[in-house]
Amino acid sequence: MSAFSATNESLALALRDTLGERLSDLIEHRGQLTAVVPAAHWLDVAWQLRDEPQFAFEQLIDLSGVDYLGYGDDEWETAEASGAGFSRGVDALGPGRFSWEDRPEAEDFPNRFAVAVQLLSQRHNRRLRLRCYAPADDFPLLPSLIEVWNSVNWYEREAFDLFGIVFEGHPDLRRILTDYGFIGHPFRKDFPLIGNVAVRYDEDKGRVIYEPVEIEPRVGVPRVVRRDSRYVDNGQERTGR
């Protein structure tokens, strides 16, 4: 029996036959096929997926950065709930996601930073996700895909701004969401959730100023719905299916 669904089987076979050793892994999850490509072949695989008729992925829909620091650690306990129906959240450990003493070390996550690309082939009416891990965690660097799909321009700038992933060959790699003087990358897992500084406009000085953060670190507790009256009929709970 094939490891892939009937929808993705032909594409998976074509990817394995064509890319060979340039394909690190091929995964299917919830009907979505993901091809993992090493950084050394990131650019040439992209050209091939766009130009070869059997693939024809002419459209890049999205590119996003990923930080795997602390991957697998759960901040919430949802197996049990309090009497009010609230799940148990972690204690506020500090201004970031981790306590300083128990923070995960980068060397424990050698593939910390990655990018995920969503591709669409209108000719074949199918989709593919590409994933590539940046080889250096202290300075994550990958080739830019802008010459292959020019729609990636702002997506790569966003990944650079929020995760600090550098895209070599990008013609205008600068911040796109944060302030010009912003320090750090706010979507990194070791970036403080409350930020480093507060920004406001000072009318007396006539300019934007930076001040220490006054927000108290806290953990929000989401409500986990375990019984819903919409699925109760004559006193008997229905599954909702």
Query: Mind listing the pLDDT tens digit for each residue in 128-157?
Result: 999 999 998 889 999 999 999 999 999 999
How many other CB atoms sit within 10 Å of the CB of residue 76? 13
- C-alpha distances in angstroms, 20 versus 43, 51, 57, 100, 142? 15, 17, 18, 43, 21
Residue 182: per-residue pLDDT: 83
Tokens for 133? 């891990």
Distance, CA of 142 to chain centre = 15
Torsion sign (Cα): 210, 211, 217, 221: negative
Residue 50 CA to residue 33 CA, distance in Å, equals: 16
Say if residues 203 and 65 touch (Cβ distance below 8 Å). Answer: no
Instruction: Kindly give the residue spans of alpha helices, DSSP state H, lying in the chain.
Output: 6-19, 42-51, 153-163
Measure the CA–CA gap between 238 and 17, rounded to whole angstroms: 48
Nearest to 38 by CA among 126, 111, 94: 111
Segment of 40-44, 107-111, 184-188 carrying the highest mean pLDDT? 40-44
| pLDDT at position 240 | 43
Structure tokens that stand for 182 in this block: 């912003």
How far is 157 from 138, CA to CA, in rounded Å? 18
Q: Which pLDDT tens digit goes with each residue over 168-213?
A: 999 999 999 988 778 889 999 888 777 778 888 899 999 988 888 8
pTM for this prediction: 0.79
What per-residue confidence (pLDDT) applies to 92?
47
* Coil, helix or strand at residue 101: coil
Query: What is the DSSP secondary structure assignment for residue 52, as one 8-state letter?
Result: S
pLDDT tens profile 56-100: 999 999 999 999 988 876 655 555 555 555 555 555 454 456 665
Contact 181, 187 (CB under 8 A): no
User: What is the distance between the alpha carbons of residues 144 and 173, in angstroms, rounded to a whole number?
Assistant: 10
